[in-house]
Amino acid sequence: MRTPQRILPITRREIRSGLAFAEEHDLQRLARLAAEGWRLVEIRGLYMVLEKAPPEQFVFAIDYQATPDPEYFEVCATAGWTHVISVEQHIHLFCAVPGTPSIFSANDAIVKYERAARMFARPALWSSVVFAVGISAVLLSGTTWLVSKFDDGVLTAIDLVGFILVILGGTMLIFTALPWSAYRLRASGYALQWSRLVYAVVFAGCGACIGYFVGAYITNAGW
Amino acid sequence: MPRHDSISLGELNDSQFYILAALVQPRHGYAVMQLLLEVPNQMVHIGPATLYTTLHKLVDAGLLERCASEGVSKVYVITPDGYSRLENEIARKRAMVAFAEQLVGSMR
């Protein structure tokens, strides 16, 4: 007996550019993909997962609201904006047919960036604290003041904990402080067209620093 | 304090003004949206995302209150405070228009 063949949906993945840095770019890309017959079904980490669907003309919009109630989506639907997907209950993606009046009032579109920046402010602060504590531990473990007080085992432990905190805090900073600063810039009216490049360089730089520290620590070549 | 939060300063922005006016009688959030979409000659556009945040801000400022909720939809209505703010704002806008009209009229 032949088993019935399961028909899997045809999917494709696209790397997100990071909404804080390239919102316009990603929204235009979604519109282009929708016209080519690809429908967004999931945002997973740094990826967007799209599924084959009939081609449709859509425009997309992003809004930031911390855990909105269902009324939010109802009001948006009344104005012609269909909810597509939400990321972590904070970032909400909508689509509408071209020509639908904007999801924001005139002069009000940048206020959403203040809300977005506020969402990242606290995590960015905590990452900075972790990072600062780590850096201090690493630096202090080499000072004569600490060396005179503790034996080698304790110093190595302080050094190791500091190192772990630096890596952890540094990584967290990339995903909190960078978006926070980008949203702050947007909220004060910058278009962030070219600064995307600046952010890419900063991102790569931070990654390289962390890589260098890990490498230096593992090979014990000193800082 | 966010820069754009002008409610506490006594002056209502356009979105807040239209939404307060729409709620002199109780309405659902989506009914306010429908009403605003029908504003004649498209002189105003209030987006749904802005409407939602403005409703919440006006409730927090005590100018609106939620008087009922049926499932998803909440019913909003203006408070006495909101009413007096709205009346002040109407008077202020009328004075602005009268001033400008007088000057424009004298140029003709």
- In one-letter notation, the amino acid at residue A182 is A
The ipTM of this complex is 0.78
Mean pLDDT of A79-85: 92
pLDDT at A10 (0 to 100) = 74
Establish how many alpha carbons lie within 13 A of residue B95's alpha carbon, considering only the half-sphere containing its beta carbon: 6
Backbone region of residue A137 per phi and psi (left: phi > 0; alpha: psi in -120 to 50; beta: other values): alpha
Question: Contact, A147 vs A181, CB < 8 A?
Answer: no
Measured between CA atoms, how close is A66 to chain B, in angstroms?
Answer: 11
Residue from A85, A92, A99, A95 nearest A31 by CA: A95
Contact B49 A63 (CB under 8 A): yes
Please state, in angstroms and as integers, the Cα–Cα distance from residue A3 to each residue in A6, A76, A103, following that order.
Answer: 9, 45, 48
Per the CB < 8 Å rule, is B49 touching A65?
yes
Which of A6-10, A219-223, B45-49 is most confident? B45-49
Q: Give the full edge-to-edge strand order of the sheet including A47-52.
A: A11-15, A47-52, A38-44
Which amino acid, residue A69? D
pLDDT given for residue B7 in this prediction: 66
Average pLDDT, chain A: 82
Q: What is the DSSP letter of B27?
A: E
pLDDT for residue A6: 58
Confidence of residue A223 (pLDDT cuts 50, 70, 90): very low
Q: What percent of chain B has pLDDT over 70?
A: 87
What is the reported pLDDT for A5? 57
Q: What is the pLDDT of residue A27?
A: 87
CB of A78 within 8 Å of a chain B CB? The answer is yes
Q: What average pLDDT does the segment A190-215 reach? A: 78
Tell me how close the Cα of B52 comes to any Cα of chain A, in angstroms: 6
**What single DSSP character describes residue A18?**
-
Distance from C-alpha of A140 to C-alpha of B94, rounded to nearest angstrom:
68
User: Does B34 touch chain A if contact means CB atoms closer than 8 Å?
Assistant: yes
Instruction: Work out the average pLDDT over B87-92.
Output: 93
Instruction: Verify whether the Cβ–Cβ distance A101 to B51 is below 8 Å.
Output: no
- Reported as a single tens digit per residue, the pLDDT across A87-112 is 888 889 999 999 888 888 876 767 78
pLDDT at A99: 87
B7-107 CATH pick, 1.10.10.10, 3.40.190.80, 3.40.1520.20, 2.40.30.10:
1.10.10.10
- Chain B residue numbers touching A61 (CB-CB < 8 A): 49
Pairwise CA distance, residues B64 & B74, whole Å: 12
The mean pLDDT of A125-142, rounded to a whole number, is 87
Residue A79 near residue A54 (C-beta atoms within 8 A): no
pLDDT on residue B3: 44
Indicate the Cα dihedral angle A111, A113, A116, A117, nearest 10°. Answer: -110
Tokens of A39: 């429908």
Mean pLDDT of B71-91: 90
Of A25-34, A39-48, B84-93, the poorest mean pLDDT is in: A39-48
Beta bridge partners of A62: A93
Do residue A78 and residue B48 have CB atoms under 8 angstroms apart? yes
Nearest-CA distance from A70 to chain B in Å?
Answer: 6
Is residue A2's pLDDT more than 60? no
Give the number of beta-carbon pairs within 8 Å between A and B: 74
pLDDT of residue B8: 63
* Nearest chain A residue to B42, by CA: A101
Residue located via tokens 């905590």: A126
Asked if A220 is an interface residue toward chain B (Cβ–Cβ < 8 A), one would say no
